[in-house]
Structure 1
């Protein structure tokens, strides 16, 4: 089992990808508060804790630093402005698994659906697989994996 911070990172990352995929190509301001469900260590708290906001901003900045997102500046409120998917991430999220004979939903569509339906485990699993393949084998291998 993955460490708790990795599980939370995957859940937050999947929700971020879903949000940006849904709004592409329009830039979005990502606000920590919008990802409360994925961020909160203690569900039901009225406000996000400072370390939860820091975790969110750190996640967005890490994704940008590693080429998954383009971003503007982070604000002290926990918002990162002018965020969008890079062409590489869009390509990966738009890929259709060949096992579905290209008739099923893309990875991005699956992330959007799982995020909206609160299926956190599915979001974490999809995100973990996507990031693992992209990092280990490069974008081309990740796209080949999706299409195998």
Structure 2
């Protein structure tokens, strides 16, 4: 069964967050090769899956930057899916340092989950991180509005 774009998005977020969390505070060059655990080469349909994942990767990176989870050089080649000087933002680091529902921080659990080729753990932890970010943003909004 083909996975939905949202499943691919969640797994991609997990891989990006894990890579940047493990490298923090060093800025990284990030490109679609980060997806290699999800797209096994030389299997039926791998080229089509790679192009799909590359498009999801590029859109995901752009979304994470626009949403304030990470910073990247303004000079990037979105057509080729390459992003330079990437690092977790304050918001991204704070969320990944939060304890996971399973104990250790979300970021450290993501680092361990990279080897999960099915990507289910990555997907679940990415959802947890993005949910924490939304909760954090909602709480900040309420406090700014005096709620």
1:51-72 CA distances to partner (integer Å, 9 max, x unpaired)?
A: 4322211110100000101012
1:127–1:46 Cα change, 3 Å: same
Runs of 5+ unmatched residues, structure 2: 140-147
Which structure features the higher share of helix residues?
A: 1
1:63–1:71 Cα change, 3 Å: same
1:51–1:119 Cα change, 3 Å: closer
Equivalents in 1 of 2:58, 2:34: separation in Å? 12
Partner of 1:74: 76
Partner of 1:145: none
1:1-148 to 2 correspondences below 5 Å: 4-38=4-38, 40=39, 44=43, 45=46, 49-72=50-73, 73-75=75-77, 76-97=79-100, 104-118=103-117, 120-135=119-134, 137-139=135-137
1:66–1:43 Cα change, 3 Å: farther
Does the CA contact (< 8 Å) of 1:88 and 1:139 recur in 2? no
1:43–1:133 Cα change, 3 Å: farther
1:130 deviation in Å? 1.8
Secondary structure (helix, strand or coil) at the match of 2:86 reads strand
1:106–1:140 Cα change, 3 Å: farther
Equivalents in 2 of 1:4, 1:41: separation in Å? 18
Does the CA contact (< 8 Å) of 1:31 and 1:78 recur in 2? yes
RMSD value, Cα: 2.7
1:47-105 CA distances to partner (integer Å, 9 max, x unpaired)?
A: 864443222111101000001010123324321111110111111111234x77xxx53
Secondary structure (helix, strand or coil) at the match of 1:37 reads coil
**Higher RCO (Cα < 8 Å, 6 or more apart):** 2
